[in-house]
Structure 1
Amino acid sequence: MDSYTGGALAWLAQGAASNLLERLVDRALDGPPQLPAWPRPGRTPAGTAEISVRQHLTTKVRTPVILTLQEAGGRTGTVFSVMLGHTTRVALPGGDYFGAAMVVDPLRRRGPTLQGIGWARLTVAAHRTSPVVIPAQRPTAPVLLGLGLRKPDGTPLFRL
């Protein structure tokens, strides 16, 4: 994992460490999601990104995904709630982005279980639709430690 990828995933992990995680999972499970929107207009004309998160596990249960988009080289991003296997359309200013996804199983009794993590780079062309699939794979303990997926008290944020 390069430093760019690691930095973006660490940003996602820091956001998930707050109570944001519970709110995002609840929002994804509550029903049809609101249409995601990029927080500010860009310098270039907008395009559309069609983002799907896929995982090798086939499940018939609605599984929430926490998806973040970050401008290339940026230090902040925007977080969305989506469902595994569904396609989300987001209007974005043209440019290069990084998408990271965490597939969460909130129904486990001892707290949320991280089922998958993945990332992909995407380029959004002005006035065009740019499809991207983020492949999520089962996380490993070293990856989680490297991302700092811990609550403020030091306990793990997710179970594997």
Structure 2
Amino acid sequence: MDTHTGALTWLAQGAASNLLDRLVDRALDGSPPTPAWPRPPKTAAGTVEITVRHHAAAKGRTPVILTLQENGSRTGTVFSVVLGNTARIAVPGGDYFGAAMVVDPRRRTLQGIGWSRLTVAAHRTSPCLIPANRPTAPVLLQLGLRKADGTPLFRL
């Protein structure tokens, strides 16, 4: 399993455990205070500005589930944002992997999925754009986007 598949599978497993509803609610109700990275930094902190773009974005405020992982880590942190808005996150300097899922909570459909690698420089702001594309059935199967009973987590 490559890094992309592992990170997106980790994100999907989190979404499957009732996290989807809470993250969507938080994205639509307003952003929480700026999150800090969950571990003490080994290097000086930097800031990453992550924006998710989707070519066929729905009208209105479309929620996005965003995850950020350090390279080589098997865990990450999940954030909820609104499509097109920029999330500013303070993290220790280093290499990261960001993944995004654009969802429609009313119809419980996955509208887009994307990922990007990024490097955060200490004491600097690093921009990151994650392009989200329409998912396909083979991609969903590869990522394991299924509930515990085997039914799909999202409709396409």
TM-score range, shorter chain: over 0.9
Show the counterpart of 1:121: 117
Contact 1:84 1:103 in 2 (8 A): yes
Show the counterpart of 1:12: 11
Show the counterpart of 2:25: 26
Contact 1:33 1:81 in 2 (8 A): no
Whole-Å separation in 2 of the counterparts to 1:18 and 1:89? 26
Deviation at 1:60, TM superposition (A): 3.1
Whole-Å separation in 2 of the counterparts to 1:134 and 1:105? 18
Q: Which runs of 5+ in 2 are unaligned?
A: none
Q: CA RMSD in A?
A: 1.1
Deviation at 1:49, TM superposition (A): 0.1
Contact 1:54 1:135 in 2 (8 A): yes
Q: Which runs of 5+ in 1 are unaligned?
A: none
Contact 1:33 1:82 in 2 (8 A): no
Show the counterpart of 1:41: 40
Show the counterpart of 2:73: 74
SS in 2 for 1:38: coil
* Equivalent residue letter for 2:114: G
4+ aligned runs moved over 4 Å, structure 1:
none
Show the counterpart of 1:155: 151
Whole-Å separation in 1 of the counterparts to 2:59 and 2:104? 13
1:61 aligns with 2:57: no
SS in 2 for 1:16: helix
**1:117-141, Cα deviation, whole Å (9 max, x unpaired):** 0000000000000000000000000
Deviation at 1:28, TM superposition (A): 0.7
Task: Give the TM-score taking structure 1 as reference length.
Answer: 0.94
Which residue of 112, 129, 136 corresponds with 1:133?
A: 129
Q: Among the aligned pairs, what percent are the same residue? A: 78
